[in-house]
Amino acid sequence: MRNSHRSASSVVTLALSAVVVLASRTASARETSAVDDERGGVGEGADAAAGEQDNDAIEEEAFGPRSNLRTRAQEVSFDASARSLELAGNVRVDSPPFHLTSQRIKLTRTRYGIEIVGKGSLAFCPCLGTPLKVDFDEAIVAPPGDLILKNPTLRFYNVPILPLPYFWLRSDEKLGVLPPDIAYRGHDGLYAGGGVHVPWKSHGQKNALDLRGGAYVLRGFVADARLRTPSSTTKVRYDRLPGGGASVGGPNDDDGLLVDARGATSSGELGMSWDADVLRGSRGIASTTELDAASRRWDRATAEGVLRGGPFVVSTAMRTITRRGGELTDVGAAGPVTSIRASGAAGTAVTYDMTVEGGALRTSDGTRSRDTLSFARAEGGARAVGSLGALEASVSLRGAGDVAKDATRDGTDRAGSARAHVGVPLVRRFGSEANDPWVHVLDPYVESAILHAHGNNLLGVSAARGASGIDGTAPIATTGFTTTLGRWSSREAVELGGAGGLALASRLTRSGVRPLARGRAAATLAWLGIAGDVATVRGGDDDRENGVAAVGRVRLGRSDGLRVLTNVAARDGLDPVLARALVDAPLEPASGFLAAEGTTGGAGLVVPWAHSVTTSVGADGDLTHRELVAARAGVELRDRCGCVTLRVMGAHRLGREGVDVWLALDFAADR
């Protein structure tokens, strides 16, 4: 539950989680005339104002001057001796964040709060009853932010889902019970749990600690703690399920530990930050439903002290790096790291960034054997842009390298790229839009580039990023053109480009010079979004010297409407260094992008059937090996005011058996 956003989200829960919600006592929402029908009210114009004043006076007499409870009805009667109100006809009672409707109820002031007798309905937003409400027989409103219901029944679009004998809702600023977790987690089976919400304030700032616990049916349990402060978030989850991990023969195959913590504090030029992304144990990897988290190679944790001055940032940190999924107590490498970072602009034509770091890490190979690894790393880049008459030129440089040494090994990793571009842009403006005209740019150009990577990945097991694991040098020279038509203020544009050239000799190839061709298409329009690059090289005797590389993303349909989304990345025949140079891939791409030969891709469909209902489906796969990587589907339901959003999702991912289903219920923060 994200209480700071008045959210009742509960990952992998069933409908029961929609009943127990923490709601903020500051809730409010703007109504539209179509949402709340007040036919038969106290009157219109002056009569309505007089009626509201009389009603306010009655409420103050019955419930006290400090009560935030407000009522509306066609008929109102007041019993002064009993301090009670009886309301009939289109009754509405507002005590934010709770909103109740009925045809006839009686309100009485008691020592516990305002007692409501009579059948009615509860909603969490002034857009009453859609999509979520709770019918009840009696209720007690105890401001600020407490509500007790007798015989409540949860209804979703008036369909009864879950009846209960009693139910107690509390503000997120008070100690309370969290939504129960009743989940079906694929191969893990049925899971049930609950928790408590512990809020407090410090120096006027809200803080909250959520403590959860639960058990899998017949075996295993989970303990979960989440801390939120104005400057940090921390999540710690321990998951134990006998036989639930991908067994590798270790003593902790059944145990998983997740730590996700980040935050920062600062005072003037001094600051401190921390960041931990840790998933330990084979059970930890098997239990997560997130493919990205399961596929990461390293667990990292850093605590850093920072001193800022001008463009420089100097920091000293303690860093820990361990291979993801290892034993709970394993530490691959840990020690102090010092770094200097700088970024900025040199004049109006040059921008730059630079990082230099070094340290000494105590390493372990999983046994008692320990050693110290000393390392240094540098990374930086610069881009310069200038013009001479009709010519425009740009030069960009990017490089990264590291060196490491321990008692028995030493090694280096390095990667670098350079690109020079000279063009003659021809610009034409046309159209009647004075403030945002259509602009057509035709840019013939010549370009040369080189990408180099080499290393033994010694740092890949310890000090941090290392190189991407590919090896080679790819120099290319091309000439071509781009043509762009766009309206820059509205960010609408279409771009097409093509080029031909030569892939020059490298130490990985036997061919001296090979022809190449490149194409690019990009569009950002209301109904279309495209970003794609394709390149091919021919002429070598070795199959690895010839082939195709392509990357692309396509959106067909409006970004907030019916849309189809696709993505693809492919490499066939080319060595990975040349493939990345041809499609302008990042210097150190995540997850070995284009490092493995083959084709991967995905597609998704989003259908907004109405303002209140949206469905989505999607899947990603390894097309070369005909293997499904991940599949997902979901339904999103919203009320008319946007106060409540209910999401029901199902997903399956590679490396995790079965299908996972979860439900999330969110309350908008600004209603």
pLDDT in tens, 232-256: 999 999 999 887 766 555 566 788 9
Q: For residue 294, what are the contacts with CB-CB under 8 A and spacing of at least 6?
A: 279, 285, 288, 653, 655, 656
Q: How far apart are CA 263 and CA 275, in angstroms?
A: 7
Q: Distance between CA atoms of 94 and 450, rounded to whole angstroms?
A: 68
Question: Is 92 strand, coil or helix?
Answer: strand
Work out the pLDDT band at 396, boundaries 50, 70, 90. Answer: very high
The pLDDT of residue 116: 87
- Strands 166-170, 159-163: pairing is unpaired
| CA count, 13 A, side-chain hemisphere, 150 | 10
Return the SS3 of 22.
strand
Q: Select from 84, 68, 128, 125 the least CA-distant residue to 102.
A: 128
pLDDT of residue 5: 38
CB 192 within 8 A of CB 44: no
Tokens representing 389 are 């008459």
Place of tokens 């059937």: 609
Query: CA–CA separation, 273 vs 129, rounded Å?
Result: 45
pLDDT of residue 365: 62
The residue-averaged pLDDT of 636-648 equals 75
Helix (H, G, I), strand (E, B) or coil at 469: coil
Q: Given a cut of 90, is residue 495 above it in pLDDT?
A: yes
pLDDT of 323 strictly over 80? yes
Range name among 187-191, 233-237, 272-276 with the lowest pLDDT average: 187-191
Are 322 and 307 a contacting pair, CB within 8 Å? no
Could you give the residue ranges of the DSSP H alpha helices within 451-598?
576-582
Contact 76/87 with Cβ under 8 angstroms?
yes
Six token digits for residue 450:
């080189």
Among residues 601, 539, 537, 532, the alpha carbon closest in space to that of 575 is found at 537
* CATH number belonging to domain 23-171: 2.60.450
Contact 305, 294 (CB under 8 A): no
User: Mean pLDDT over residues 72-86, rounded?
Assistant: 80
Q: Domain-by-domain residue ranges, the chain? A: 23-171, 383-596
45 Rama class: left (phi>0) / alpha (psi -120 to 50) / beta: left
- CA-to-CA separations, 114 to 65, 104, 125, 336, in angstroms, rounded: 14, 16, 20, 60
- Joined tokens for residue 579: 């493939």
Lowest mean pLDDT among 419-423, 549-553, 652-656: 652-656
Q: Are the C-beta atoms of residues 469 and 592 closer than 8 Å to each other?
A: yes
Q: What is the mean pLDDT of residues 557-585?
A: 81
Amino acid at 537: V
Buried b (16+ CB within 10 A) or exposed e, 266-275: eeeeebebbe
What is the spatial distance between Cα 499 and Cα 449, in angstroms, rounded to a whole number?
Answer: 13
Q: Rounded to an integer, what is the distance from CA 192 to the centroid of its chain?
A: 25
